[in-house]
Amino acid sequence: MLVDRHCHLVPGVDDGSQSLQESVAMLHAAQKAGITHVICTPHCKRSHFDKMLIEERYGQVLPYATAMGLHMALGYEVHYDGLLAYGTDRARDLCTRRTMNLLLEFSLRGIPFGYEQTLYDLTTQGIDVTIAHPERYPEVQDDIGVARNLVEMGCHLQLSANCIAKGPFNPLRTTASKLYKEGLVSYVASDAHRVDDYAYFEQALERFPLS
């Protein structure tokens, strides 16, 4: 079983797949990469979030996944600002269906003041929080202790596979390596937006093998 916990293959709802045809091609690429379980995570941002449209488009892809023998589930990549706009008390609606798992991303401009309280509010509801691509946040790049703090607060950390596409001295790649060596990484995900992104996923799993 190989689970991809973060990808953008629901068509026409974010900056990922733009058509059903592209989504089906992504499913084939995922399967070729060895993935057996796909958790679709379209963006949930403050500026635009249409849950009904996402569910409808997800429903268009699901039969193709099922016919291929792939297990698929719907979640979201919840932007911190989007979460606050939606309401942390309603965060269960943004978890992967039939789970209490929530994928949370911070702004690339920085981890916001007060995030500890928000994480506390989520975890006390029983929500299992995964932080998307910690290697991208400036605070984590500057101080790995910030990532350690997130883990100590009960969060899982998820590397996005395209960090390995960068040069060896790129901060994304060096931070990803540091996080991995420190044992802070729970998951590697494709974060695929396009078919070609699954090639990075295979390479990232080789570089950052997780049991």
Backbone dihedral region for residue 87 (phi beyond 0: left; psi -120 to 50: alpha; all else: beta):
left
Q: What is the DSSP string of 101-127?
A: EEEEE-BTTBPPTTHHHHHHHHHTTT-
**To the nearest whole angstrom, how small is the minimum distance from the Cβ of residue 1 to Fe ion?**
22
Q: Provide the token pair at 13.
A: 């709802």
Of the candidate spans 69-77, 113-121, 134-142, 149-157, the one that interacts with Fe ion by CB under 5 A turns out to be: 69-77
154 three-state secondary structure = coil
Interface positions, 120-159, toward Fe ion (CB under 5 A): none
Question: For the chain, where are the alpha helices, taking DSSP H only?
Answer: 20-32, 51-68, 80-86, 115-123, 138-142, 144-152, 171-181, 197-207
Span of 21-29, 60-68, 115-123, 184-192 interacting with Fe ion by CB under 5 A = 184-192
- Closest approach, Cβ 200 to Fe ion, in A, equals 13
* Among the residue ranges 20-28, 137-145, 171-179, 187-195, the one whose residues contact Fe ion (CB under 5 A): 187-195
> Does position 14 bind Fe ion by CB under 5 A?
no
Residues 71-100 that bind Fe ion (CB under 5 A): 77
The pairing of beta strand 43-44 with beta strand 156-160: unpaired
Nearest approach in angstroms of CB 67 to Fe ion is 26
The residues of the shown chain that bind Fe ion, judged by CB under 5 A, are: 77, 191
